[in-house]
Structure 1
Amino acid sequence: MTTGVLLRRAERRDAEALSTFAARVFWETYADDTAASDLTDYIGKNFRVARQHAEIVDPCGAVFLAVKGQGGRTILGYAQLVVEAPCDAPPLLNRLYIERECRGTGLAGRLLEEVRNECRRRGAAKLRLTVFEKNTRAIAFYKQSGFAVTGFTTFRVGHDVQRDIEMETQVDAAERRHNTGPGSQNG
């Protein structure tokens, strides 16, 4: 399924396709644990085409796509890195979404490596993220990729206040674990 998949930086022209992809994958991932009205509210605010466009062109972040198909237009996954103020805080892996049929193929690991490379280009030694405490597959992937739990926070999806796990890794240490550890075909 992931043969011939190209990883590239998102471009302005990708905003509409990314909006559709992100909304669908978010819905599929969280529909069992979150009310439809809350999902609809969150998706309407966070995955609009204009919002995706703004995230793609934001110099304080980076959006990477895993694409396939004619002209590389079919999105199979994406990752979004955000550098938040204050600038001394580690960059945030804000999103890492993979097409359901591509999970377990190593695609998530490839996108995560692109994010790590961007952290290195920006001189960041650490990378952090938050993940919904019920998303056990993602938590296992992040732990296997070198992330450690650093705390907990809340995350609002519509009116639903959920508990997220905060995780962090050293960029270079995580790379060594990810590339040499058992089961590096994640995602």
Structure 2
Amino acid sequence: MTAITIKKCCVDDVQTLQNISMETFIDTFKDQNSPENMKAYVEKAFNLKQLETELSNQTSEFYFIYADGDIAGYLKVNAGDAQSEAMGDDSLEVERIYVRKKFHKQGLGTFLMNKAIEIATEQNKEKIWLGVWEKNKNAIDFYSKMGFVHTGAHSFYMGDEEQTDLIMTRTLK
């Protein structure tokens, strides 16, 4: 049986966070986006300065998930003003939830989502929400299985291309 552990990240983890962020994002989206737009997004979102700023934000939290001691994925949640949309103080956003390809189909996404729900519950949030690319059917199916429903949409920019993210929400109270 695989030993699963989840560890909260700190600024000292920035290089590891950058590596896994780039790896998982590129693996997830490279086949549906131009190399130029991928490069532009990755350089903007995952540069060390940007990640250090996010790690230092008191209303954002990052977590690594490990499978038998090997880093397998990560989670980022936002509360308050750190949320990418103004959803109110009663909400927690799951901004990023990624599992490395070699760890897919092992239930690690469920572990990470349950961690996000646990955090939201501990913070007395009434709902948890996320944005997911409308073309990412596997993720949409996963979130639906986890009790999220489509409640809206917003724009997401991949380089210079405007894309649509579905907003999915799960009520906790």
Q: TM-score, normalised on structure 2?
A: 0.90
Deviation at 1:171, TM superposition (A): 2.8
Give the Å deviation of 1:107: 0.5
Which letter does structure 1 place at the counterpart of 2:131? T
- Aligned twin of 1:65: 64
Structure 1 residues 160 and 89 mapped into 2: Cα distance closer, same or farther (>3 Å)? farther
* Aligned position for 1:114: 115
Alignment of 1:48-59 (within 5 A): 48-59=47-58
| In the alignment, structure 1 residue 34 sits paired with structure 2 residue 33 | yes
Paired residues, what number? 168
Q: Higher strand share goes to which structure?
A: 2
Whether the aligned pair in 2 keeps the contact of 1:84 and 1:92 (CA below 8 Å) is no
- Please identify, of 124-133 and 8-17, the stretch whose mean Cα deviation from structure 2 is larger: 8-17
- 1:127-166 counterparts in 2 under 5 A? 127-166=128-167
Q: How far did residue 110 of structure 1 move? A: 0.6
Q: Where in structure 1 are there 5+ consecutive unaligned residues?
A: 173-187
Equivalent residue number for residue 18 of structure 2: 19
Q: Secondary structure, in 3 states, of the residue corresponding to 2:97?
A: strand
| Contact 1:66–1:78 (8 Å) recurs in 2 | yes
1:68 to 1:107, Cα distance in 2 relative to 1, 3 A: closer
Unaligned runs of 5+ in 2: none
Q: Percent identity?
A: 23
CA separation in 1, counterparts of 2:114 and 2:72?
A: 16
Deviations along 1:23-56, one digit per CA (max 9) or x if unpaired, are 1111111111111111111100111122222222
* CA distance in structure 1 between the aligned counterparts of 2:65 and 2:131, rounded to whole angstroms: 21
Name the CA distance, whole Å, in 2 between partners of 1:45 and 1:89. 29
